[in-house]
């Protein structure tokens, strides 16, 4: 592990992370190995969030740095990264066009080495069903900022059941007004109070 | 008791609650912008395009609930124009971009480029508005809304009072953070805080007098000396402390003090979780502000820290109205009165009772406010 890369990412030092990634690529290191170090840095960021040392703004900045680092690594890809730890389908449910929370969770899940199918916003239940069938995902994440998203969340869970997929996937929900009561209403398996807890939940389920 | 006498009695009660004085019963407010038209058979498109109708259905719905003392906030003109003005974002509108009866939604997009902080810094807030508004709203619609506000806004609030209800807040203002976050998009703006903090801070500083002026001017125009001072993405749960201490709190402090000096009470309408930083509110003058959390802030911690400093308005969560039962609502109000009352409390939905509130839950709220609020 490169302590310089881990420390820079953990401290949200954007320029230092990107410089270090470039330096190591130029030195001939495999992109797969560097990517793993970036992921370890993101794990540190997540821990700092769980310890109330970091907040949403820090997660957004960390996710943005990680995205730039992976873009650099993709452009000079060598070596193999680990296999994804799981496959997840994510989207903001039908009738809701808010993407910020969903995008943050997608970024953190990818940093945690999940393969994520991001269906975007205003996603109808049938699209979640089809994508689970196509990808073999074992986790579905439903996002919504409006209280009017509660019924589409419930409809999506029902559609997964009607398609015979309910016992093959775990469903998590999240978004501003989501609570345990909403989780029960929607028939989901869990709810995430914030983006980092969504990652923790996904890790526990895979 | 006629409606004038009722208004006077209710206003006196709310004044006592805001001053942290003993009350004969705990006052209770309606808050449910989209709920009233939904329950009165008016589409969201009609509600957004016709402010007279918006007022009529709101008052009729509050009448049906029978026991509430006032309305936390009602739009002073066209609903979506007010949102555009404080978000600097395009509002997807029912009957236009959305179905007739869909709820309006803020479109998240980068309408302001990073080099346009310079416009604020060098040319001022008015020039900045002229730059951004054409990108987010039809200017003829904006002009019509402003004309309505000037000609009829005061009448809206007199109508509320003439029906016997107290309008807690009129108009709205916020801190520069929220407006710039809307204009830049949340992702880009949060990155700006790390990448170009000095420029963001300079732009924010320029906006402060205008945002004080917005609140004071609205209060004077509409004849209600209390203004909604909003916050949503600048919440403690969203922003790292070192950023919050630089880009959030100093601006709330300046704007709140500016309003107070002009005789206007800021009502901190704070969505999301602000628990971490509640103590900062003690830096403002006592009994000159109110806190209106939405159920995510720890309201018991707020009472503990601010109970001798400012009234709390709230905070029955929107999710309970949408998916809970009448008994859930009743129990929430009971516990709220027990833990946060009886002085310095005004019962109210947190943020607002949403469009998909079960009607029986709003009725349960009104009934619980009477049951637990009396004999305070």
Q: Find the CATH number of the domain harbouring A29.
A: 1.10.1240.10
Looking at A2, A10, A117, A149, which residue is catalytic?
A: A149
Contact B319 A96 (CB under 8 A): no
Tell me how far apart the 2 most distant CA atoms of chain B are, in Å.
Answer: 61
Same domain, A70 and A90: no
Same domain, A37 and A129: no
Tell me what the mean pLDDT of segment B201-222 comes to. 97
Same domain, A71 and A91: no
Q: Is pLDDT above 60 for B134?
A: yes
Range of the domain at A94: 86-205
| Mean model confidence pLDDT for chain B | 96
Q: What is the pLDDT of residues B165-189, one digit of tens each?
A: 999 999 899 999 999 999 999 999 9
Compare A81 and B209 and report the one with higher pLDDT. B209
Residue where a domain stops, chosen among A17, A48, A75: A75
Q: Find the CATH number of the domain harbouring B339.
A: 3.20.20.210
Query: For a pLDDT cut of 90, what percent of chain B falls above it?
Result: 98
Q: Tokens 């100093």 — which residue? A: B250
How far apart are the C-alpha atoms of A102 and B263, rounded to whole Å?
42
Alpha carbon distance, N-terminus to C-terminus of chain A: 25
Q: Tokens 């995205």 — which residue? A: A67
A74 is catalytic: no
Domain count, chain A: 2
Predicted local confidence at residue A152, as pLDDT:
97
Residue where a domain stops, chosen among A42, A75, A108: A75
Q: Find the CATH number of the domain harbouring A107.
A: 3.40.50.280
Nearest-CB residue to B239 (from A55, A176, A179): A55
Same domain, A49 and A149: no
Flag whether A81 is in a domain: no
Contact B194 A176 (CB under 8 A): no
Domain count, chain B: 1
B34 pLDDT band (50/70/90 cuts)? very high
Q: What is the pLDDT of residues B228-276, one digit of tens each?
A: 999 999 999 999 999 999 999 999 999 999 999 999 999 999 999 999 9
Predicted local confidence at residue B1, as pLDDT:
86
Predicted local confidence at residue A76, as pLDDT:
64
A149 is catalytic: yes
Same domain, A9 and A99: no
What does DSSP assign to residue A123? B
Same domain, A109 and A184: yes
Considering just the CA atoms, what is the radius of gyration of chain A in Å?
18
Same domain, A90 and A190: yes
Contact A176 B272 (CB under 8 A): yes
Q: What is the pLDDT of residues B51-109, one digit of tens each?
A: 999 999 999 999 999 999 999 999 989 999 999 999 999 999 999 999 999 999 999 99
Mean pLDDT, consecutive 10-residue segments, chain A of 206 residues?
84 96 93 91 92 92 93 74 90 93 93 95 97 98 95 98 98 94 97 93 95
How far apart are the C-alpha atoms of B100 and B81, rounded to whole Å?
17
Contact B322 A147 (CB under 8 A): yes
Test the B interface: residue of A102, A177, A193 with most B CBs within 10 Å: A177
Residue where a domain stops, chosen among A29, A53, A75: A75
Instruction: Report the complex ipTM.
Output: 0.88
Report the alpha-carbon angle B37-B41-B43, nearest 5.
Answer: 60
């Amino acid at each position: 592990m490169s302590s310089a890369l881990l420390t820079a990412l953990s401290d949200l030092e954007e320029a230092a992370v990107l410089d270090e990634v470039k330096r190591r690529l130029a030195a001939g290191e495999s992109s797969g190995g560097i990517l793993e170090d970036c992921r370890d840095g993101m794990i540190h960021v997540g821990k700092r969030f769980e310890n109330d040392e970091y907040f949403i703004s820090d997660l957004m900045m960390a996710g943005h740095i990680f995205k730039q680092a992976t873009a650099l690594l993709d452009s000079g890809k060598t070596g193999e990264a680990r296999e994804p730890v799981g496959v997840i389908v994510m989207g903001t449910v039908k009738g809701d066009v808010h993407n910020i929370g969903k995008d943050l969770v997608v970024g953190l899940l990818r940093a945690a080495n999940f393969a994520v199918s991001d269906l975007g916003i205003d996603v109808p239940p049938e699209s979640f069903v089809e994508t689970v069938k196509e990808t073999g995902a074992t986790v579905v994440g439903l996002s919504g900022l409006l209280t009017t998203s509660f019924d589409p969340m419930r409809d999506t869970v029902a559609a997964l059941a009607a398609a015979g997929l309910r016992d093959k996937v775990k469903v998590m929900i999240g978004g501003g007004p989501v609570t345990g009561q909403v989780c029960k209403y929607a028939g989901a398996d869990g709810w995430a109070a914030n983006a980092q807890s969504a990652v923790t939940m996904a890790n526990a389920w895979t | 008791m006629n409606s004038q006498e009722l208004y006077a009695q209710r206003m006196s009660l709310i004044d006592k609650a805001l001053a942290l004085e003993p009350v004969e019963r705990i006052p209770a407010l309606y808050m449910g912008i989209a709920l009233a038209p939904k329950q009165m058979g008016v589409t969201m498109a009609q509600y957004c395009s016709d402010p007279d109708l918006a007022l009529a259905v709101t008052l009729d719905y509050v009448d049906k609930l029978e026991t509430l003392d006032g309305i936390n906030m009602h739009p002073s003109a066209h609903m979506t124009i007010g949102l555009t003005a404080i978000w600097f974002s395009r509002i997807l509108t029912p009957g236009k971009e959305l179905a007739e009866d869909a709820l309006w939604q803020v479109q998240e997009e980068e309408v302001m480029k990073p080099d346009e902080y310079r416009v604020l810094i060098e040319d001022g807030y008015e020039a900045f508005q002229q730059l951004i508004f054409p990108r987010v709203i039809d200017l003829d619609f904006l002009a019509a809304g402003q004309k309505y506000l000037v000609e009829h806004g005061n009448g809206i609030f007199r109508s509320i009072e003439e029906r016997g209800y107290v309008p807690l807040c009129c108009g709205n203002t916020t801190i520069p953070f929220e407006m710039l976050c809307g204009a830049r998009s949340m992702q880009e703006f949060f990155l700006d805080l790390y990448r170009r903090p000095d420029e963001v801070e300079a732009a924010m500083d320029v906006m402060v007098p205008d945002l004080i002026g917005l609140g004071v001017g609205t209060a004077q125009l509409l004849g209600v000396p209390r203004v909604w001072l909003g916050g949503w993405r600048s919440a403690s749960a969203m922003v790292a402390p070192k950023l919050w201490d630089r880009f959030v709190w100093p601006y709330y402090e300046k704007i709140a003090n500016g309003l107070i000096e002009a005789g206007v009470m800021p009502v901190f309408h704070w969505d999301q979780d602000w628990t971490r930083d509640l103590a900062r509110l003690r830096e403002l003058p006592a009994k000159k502000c109110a806190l209106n959390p939405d159920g995510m802030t720890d309201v018991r911690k707020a009472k503990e820290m601010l109970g001798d400093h400012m009234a709390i308005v709230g905070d029955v969560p929107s999710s309970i109205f949408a998916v809970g039962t009448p008994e859930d609502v009743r129990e929430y109000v009971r516990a709220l009165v027990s833990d946060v009352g009886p002085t310095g409390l005004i019962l109210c939905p947190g943020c607002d009772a949403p469009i998909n509130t079960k009607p029986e839950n709003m009725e349960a709220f009104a009934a619980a406010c009477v049951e637990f609020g009396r004999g305070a």
